[in-house]
């Protein structure tokens, strides 16, 4: 069953993409991703496995929507700075196509958690392929070349989101950072509540529990500024070990400002 949180995120995604896209293709794809029952079921089961079986944090429909929203917002700031996506630079597609690829990757990047945490990004890729083909056929049914290009970028975003594999497109780098930005305390609350004994990975959960808010906005020196507001310095672990590590390996690194802000202290600038 869909939650009010999902519905609210869906509305924000639709609003953001409506303001971004010069035509209706990305918006049409967003609506299909949001409403597709197979994708919803995949996301929900990925979350069940992640939280109930493995004791990890949220890897389900809320998380994947947050990543899609984060990525769409960042693409908007890049466009405002007149920075072209890889599809645009290579004359393989438009900005709108890049939005389509990025939100598709975001909605499916953790589908592999239904199978295993180890190599879940690779599992996600082969699970996602038939879904991507099916939805792209609906939206770009008369344009085979464009479907192939968008699918390739989306799959690259999926397999690259953990930061452990080389990526080359700007779009995949945006997915990677969008994933890293979902690190607030709400994402870890369920796994902490269910925890009965200490285990490997607890530091990530408790560090994330001190993250109050992650804001993405226009930067002063670079196109994108990310502010991480936290209640205590334990959150710096999450910033440095998760988000900063992903940004460092991202093709979008050069466009990011990153600040960690602990209550009543001066902001700490990383990038």
Q: Are both 39 and 63 inside the same structural domain?
A: yes
Residue 118 has pLDDT above 60, yes or no: yes
Our count of domains for the chain comes to: 2
Mean pLDDT over the full length of the chain: 91
Is there a single domain that holds both residue 83 and residue 196?
A: no
Which domain range does residue 225 map to?
185-269
For the cut 50, the answer to whether the pLDDT of residue 200 exceeds it is: no
Using one digit for the tens of pLDDT, what is the confidence trace for 209-223?
Answer: 889 999 999 999 999
Least confident piece of the model among 26-30, 115-119, 130-134: 115-119
Q: Does residue 187 surpass a pLDDT of 60?
A: no
Spatial separation of the C-alpha atoms in residues 231 and 206, rounded to whole Å: 12
51 with 122, same domain: the answer is yes
- Please return the burial class of 89, using the count of CB atoms within 10 Å of its CB with bins 0-12, 13-18 and 19+: exposed
For residue 101, the domain's CATH number is 1.10.3210
Give per-residue burial for 7-23: e unless 16+ CB within 10 Å, then b: eebbebbeebbeebbee
Mean pLDDT of 67-85: 98
Judgement on whether residues 126 and 65 belong to the same structural domain of the protein: yes
Q: Is the pLDDT of residue 105 over 90?
A: yes
Q: Are 110 and 193 within one domain?
A: no
């Amino acid at each position: 069953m869909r939650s009010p949180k999902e519905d609210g995120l869906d509305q924000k995604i639709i609003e953001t993409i409506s303001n971004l896209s010069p035509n209706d293709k990305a918006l049409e794809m967003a609506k299909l991703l949001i409403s597709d029952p197979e994708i919803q079921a995949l996301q929900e089961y990925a979350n069940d496995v992640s939280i109930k079986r493995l004791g990890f944090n949220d890897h389900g429909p809320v998380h994947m929507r947050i990543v899609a929203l984060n990525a769409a917002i960042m693409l908007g700031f890049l466009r405002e700075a007149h920075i072209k996506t890889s599809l645009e630079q290579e004359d393989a597609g438009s900005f709108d196509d890049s939005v389509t690829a990025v939100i598709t990757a975001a909605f499916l990047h953790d589908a592999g958690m239904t199978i295993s945490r180890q190599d879940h990004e690779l599992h996600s890729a082969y699970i996602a392929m038939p879904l991507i083909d099916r939805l792209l056929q609906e939206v770009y049914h008369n344009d085979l070349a464009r479907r192939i290009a968008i699918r390739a970028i989306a799959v690259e975003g999926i397999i690259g989101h953990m930061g452990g594999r080389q990526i080359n497109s700007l779009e995949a780098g945006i997915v990677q950072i969008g994933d890293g930005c979902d690190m607030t305390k709400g994402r870890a609350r369920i796994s902490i509540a269910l925890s009965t004994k200490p285990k490997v990975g607890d530091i990530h959960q408790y560090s994330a529990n001190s993250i109050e808010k992650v804001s993405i906005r226009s930067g002063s020196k670079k196109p994108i500024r990310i502010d991480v507001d936290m209640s205590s310095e334990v959150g710096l672990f999450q910033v440095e070990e998760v988000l900063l590590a992903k940004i460092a390996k991202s093709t979008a690194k050069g466009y990011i400002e990153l600040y960690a802000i602990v209550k009543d202290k001066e902001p700490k600038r990383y990038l």
